[in-house]
Every structure is written in C-alpha cells, then in structure tokens.
Amino acid sequence: MADVKMEEDHFSPYRADGKLYGFVCVVTGAQQPVGQAIIQELAAHGAACIYACDQAASSAYDHLIETISKSSANTKIIPYPLTVASEAETLTLIDEILNSFGRLDVWVCSSGLLGPPSLDATTPSDLQKCFEANSMAPFFALKYAPPAMGKLMLRKGDYPNAEVKGQRYGSIVVVSSVASTYGGCWGVGYTMSCHAALGVVRAGVAVLKGTGVRINCISPGQIDVGVDLHNFDMRGMTAQFPPASLQSKENQQKDIGLERSGLPIEVGRVAGFLASGFSSYITGANLVVDGGASVMNPLTVPI
C-alpha cells in the first residue's frame, strides 16, 4: 500500500512543484500560436522536457525558448523537425525521446490545417493534406505513443525536473475544431478531417483500455491567432483556424456567449488540464472551447 500511495503522490495534480512535474511531452504544430501557448502552459506546470515539433525549425522558436527560459528555467524545450503524417518520423521521434529521457507522458496534436474554403477550390490533393494534418497525426499518436507511455522509470534521470515514473500513465490530446461536430465552419476538407480527428479520439478509448493512457479532444471555436484578412491566404493551406476577424466584433458579441473570440492561451490551459491528473477520469471527451457559441447557434464563419 505504501508504494501505491507514493505513486499517487507523484501523479497528484496538487504537487507543490507543478502538476506536470517530471513529465516528458510532445507538442506538434509548435510554430502555430496555439501550439506555442500549449508549450508555455506545460512548462509553467513543471514539465521536464517538451519536444516542440513542426515541419522545420525556424526563428519562431527563439522567442518561445527565451520566454520559457525566464519563466520555467528547468524545462528543456527541444525544437524538433517532424512531418506529422510520417510514420517513420513519428517512430524515430519516440525512439529518441526514450533514449534521451526514458519516459513519455503527454502527446499533444496541434498541427491542424484549414484547407480551401470552398468545394470548388478543393482538390483531392488538398483533401489529403487536410487529413494528414488533422487526423493522420492523431492516428499515429494513438498507435505509437501508448507503448512508450507505458514504460516505467524507477530512478530519476540526470536532468532538471526529473522524477521517477512508477505507474503507467499517459495523456494524448488532440486539438481539433468545432468543425469536429459541426459543418459550415470552413471548407469541406476541414470539416471532414476534423470529424475524423474526433473519430480517432472516440475509437481510442476502447483501444487504450488497460494501458493507463487517456485520449481526449479539444474543439476550439473562434480563436484570435493574430492573423487578419489582409494577409490571409484564403486557401487556408498554412493556417490552423479561420481568422477571428472573419466575424466582426458586432457578430462576435451577438453570436458568442462570452461576446469575444478566444485566445491561444485559453486553449493551452485546457490542454494543460487534460495532460494532468486533474482530468484523471476523463477519456474520449470532446471539450468545446468556443465561448458558448455552439450552444447558442452552431458556429459558422462567413466567407
């Protein structure tokens, strides 16, 4: 019984040194505003290491690493180039994590892609890219992360914020969109692939039985990611969410319960909750983060 209590204490979200103390995490879409907010949230709660994954390393990481080094000095941020729809690269990343840190605890898929806004503009190639980013990445996380998350670590590693791992634990978080359950949020490819992402989460509950790993979805609505219409690629091939500016301030006040678009950090905080023991009895859930818009009226974005 004493050993069980020790393990419960280690994974308690009320730890004074942070609810994610010692955790080794992966966050994809790390150069997107929401991905960066998630990384900051995980670091703020004691994560030992966060692999910040995106297509290629860039200067976007410099500011992130500088910010976290000031607020969470013991959290190691590792920029990691990753093609999220590549099975081989996913397996290589997991091998590197286990060889370097001996454990894996959290995997956040935040690598969404809008795709074209209209059916006429959507090609089979566009559709494939949407599925690769929005649903293939969660599928690979579901398939390959849990065995790594099940590995125990009975001695502390030789790195800051290291902690033992005496029980199987893991959390997979899929950042999708309200398009996971509603249509009209953007184009056909986006809606189809976001529905598929939620399908991965729901299918994953039975798959993960007995592993100690949970899987959940976050479905944001209007999130202000700092992109305006003037410089926005209307095909949406480089963006994760529709620009909040597609809805005027007047429409946001009329259609959204909280009368405003959301902020990336407000998605990040939900990811931190799902990563931690605070959500220990939640799996297969779809947490809608849209300020109440879909409760009042299913969210649509005018094109």
Taking only the tens place, the pLDDT of each residue in 90-129 is: 999 999 999 999 999 999 999 989 988 889 989 999 999 9
Question: Would 105 be classed as within a structural domain?
Answer: yes
CATH at residue 83: 3.40.50.720
The residue range of the domain holding 121 is 20-291
Summarize pLDDT for 19-66 with one digit per residue, the tens: 999 999 999 999 999 999 999 999 999 999 999 999 876 667 788 888
Domain count, the chain: 1
What are the tens digits of pLDDT across the range 209-235?
999 999 999 999 988 876 554 555 666
**Residue 14 domain-assigned (yes or no):** no
Total length of the chain: 303
Establish if 12 belongs to a structural domain. no
In a domain, 193, yes or no: yes
Q: Indicate the pTM of the whole model.
A: 0.91
Give the integer Cα–Cα distance in Å for 119 and 188. 6
